[in-house]
Amino acid sequence: MAFNPSFIGKSFVVSDSDARIRDPNNLAAVTPKVILKGTKVLVTEVKTLPTGSKSRMVFANTTSESGSDVGWTSTRNLQGSFINETLDLLPAGTSVDQKGPNAAWSHGDFLGQVDLVEIVDNGLEIERMTLTTVEPYLMMVEAAKAAGISVAINSGFRSYGEQDLLFRGFKQGLPGFNLAAPPGMSNHQNGIALDIAVSGGAGTPVYNWLAKNATSFGFVRTVSGEPWHWEFDPKKAATAKAQGTCKAAGISN
| Residue ranges binding Zn ion (CB under 5 A) | 195, 229
Q: How far is the CB of 212 from Zn ion (least distance, A)?
A: 21
Torsion of CA 77, 83, 85, 86, to 10 degrees: 120
Q: How far is the CB of 15 from Zn ion (least distance, A)?
A: 30
- In terms of CB distance, is 22 or 188 closer to Zn ion? 188
* Position closest to Zn ion via CB: 229
- In terms of CB distance, is 121 or 195 closer to Zn ion? 195
In DSSP terms, 52 is beta-bridged to none
HSE (CB half, 13 Å, CA atoms) of 163? 26
- In terms of CB distance, is 146 or 179 closer to Zn ion? 179
Contacts of residue 117, Cβ cutoff 8 Å, sequence gap at least 6:
3, 86, 87, 88, 89, 90, 128, 129, 130, 131, 134
Q: How far is the CB of 195 from Zn ion (least distance, A)?
A: 4
Query: Taking a C-beta distance cutoff of 8 angstroms, is the pair 49, 27 a contact?
Result: yes
- In terms of CB distance, is 195 or 233 closer to Zn ion? 195
| Burial (CB count <10 Å: 0-12, 13-18, 19+), residue 236 | buried
In DSSP terms, 35 is beta-bridged to 19
Q: How far is the CB of 9 from Zn ion (least distance, A)?
A: 32
Query: Taking a C-beta distance cutoff of 8 angstroms, is the pair 230, 219 a contact?
Result: yes
Q: How far is the CB of 221 from Zn ion (least distance, A)?
A: 10
- In terms of CB distance, is 82 or 157 closer to Zn ion? 157
